[in-house]
Structure 1
Amino acid sequence: MNQLIFVETSIPSFYFETRSGAAMQARREWTREWWDLAKWQDELVSSLWVIRELEDTPEPKRTECLTLLQDIRLLQYAPEIDVLVDHNIENKIMPADADGDARHLAVATFWKCDILASWNCKHIANANKTDHIRQVNARLGYDTPKLITPYELLGVEP
């Protein structure tokens, strides 16, 4: 099942996670397992804004993350994305940083991605926010991508 999956900043970041806590190690392993499957069976995409965020990451993680994304297509800017960003912020579904989570959601929404993969469970992959996000996007005539973690994408039973 070939799906269009938007990869936001937390995905490459967790792929190269170095923290030793059990939760961090689990996210790293799930991210790697999912990535190794998805890169062959789905179309992974990202954006210049993700690249810009990763460019602020300290070395050597910066180079590792950017290398991981070097072969995936970057979705292009369109003025409608700015409208979605503003709408996301005005409706309080994302923090007021116009180049952060609000932009990732707007890009994935505008380009009709099936999924926005994220480990950001506070603002993006948060089941408590999903209905509100869908309602806000629907007001502008957009469908909302599924907002889920790599763990959920693996389809692993707990």
Structure 2
Amino acid sequence: MKTLRLYPDTSVFGGSYDHEFAGPSRRLFELVSEGVFILTISSLTVDELLNAPEFVRQSLDALSPASVESFEITEEMERLRDAYIRAGVLGKSSEADALHVAAASVANVDMIVSWNFRHIVRYDKIRGFNAVNLLNGYKRVDIYSPLEIVEI
């Protein structure tokens, strides 16, 4: 069976230390450590984690390098981000959130995992991201909260 590639945004790492989200976030990282999933992270996520408290960064540092893939943000990803904004899926003030989705879409991950219910894990936003993806030659992207993933 294929190991699924997950793109976690920064909220998943911070969620490990939030009372409401800690259980599912930590379980997700356990499943990654067990080889059930591979984390695929962008340089955007790494940059955001560098600005996070040390204890949040430790969630990534604790993972085996074999269970994490990383990639740089490309112009193609930035163009897709801009397409989301032009289409009104997200506003200019949510550029980083749009870039997370664009990066995951271009990197062809199996799913995005996020606790961002305002801009990413929301039915109307997911429909918008997928409409723009299809218009621009990318596949649909599945977006879930960690709670939905650890119950698989």
Q: Same fold (TM over 0.5)?
A: yes
Q: Distance in 2 between matches of 1:103 and 1:123?
A: 11
Q: Which position in structure 1 is the counterpart of 2:43? A: 48
How far did 1:85 drift? 1.1
2:22 pairs with one of 11, 28, 31: 28
Q: Which position in structure 1 is the counterpart of 2:99? A: 103
2:21 partner letter: R
2:58 pairs with one of 53, 64, 86: 64
Q: Distance in 2 between matches of 1:30 and 1:66?
A: 15
Q: Distance in 2 between matches of 1:121 and 1:145?
A: 16
Contiguous gaps of at least 5 residues in structure 1: 18-24
Q: Which position in structure 1 is the counterpart of 2:113? A: 117
Q: Give the TM-score of the pair, scaled to structure 1.
A: 0.83
Contact preservation (8 Å) 2:16, 2:56: no
* Count of aligned residue pairs for this structure pair: 148
2:52 partner letter: T
Contact preservation (8 Å) 1:14, 1:27: yes
Q: Distance in 2 between matches of 1:128 and 1:38?
A: 29
Q: Distance in 1 between matches of 2:56 and 2:147?
A: 23
Q: Which position in structure 2 is the counterpart of 1:20? A: none
How far did 1:94 drift? 2.3
Contiguous gaps of at least 5 residues in structure 2: none
Question: Aligned residues: percent identity?
Answer: 23
Q: Distance in 1 between matches of 2:63 and 2:82?
A: 27
Q: Distance in 2 between matches of 1:129 and 1:64?
A: 30
1:16 partner letter: Y
Q: Which position in structure 1 is the counterpart of 2:122? A: 126
CA change 1:155–1:63 in 2 (3 A) is closer
CA change 1:51–1:99 in 2 (3 A) is farther
Q: Distance in 2 between matches of 1:69 and 1:126?
A: 28
2:134 pairs with one of 129, 132, 138: 138
How far did 1:8 drift? 0.9
> Once superposed, what is the RMSD of the aligned Cα atoms?
2.1
Contact preservation (8 Å) 1:95, 1:101: no
2:26 partner letter: R
Q: Distance in 2 between matches of 1:62 and 1:27?
A: 13
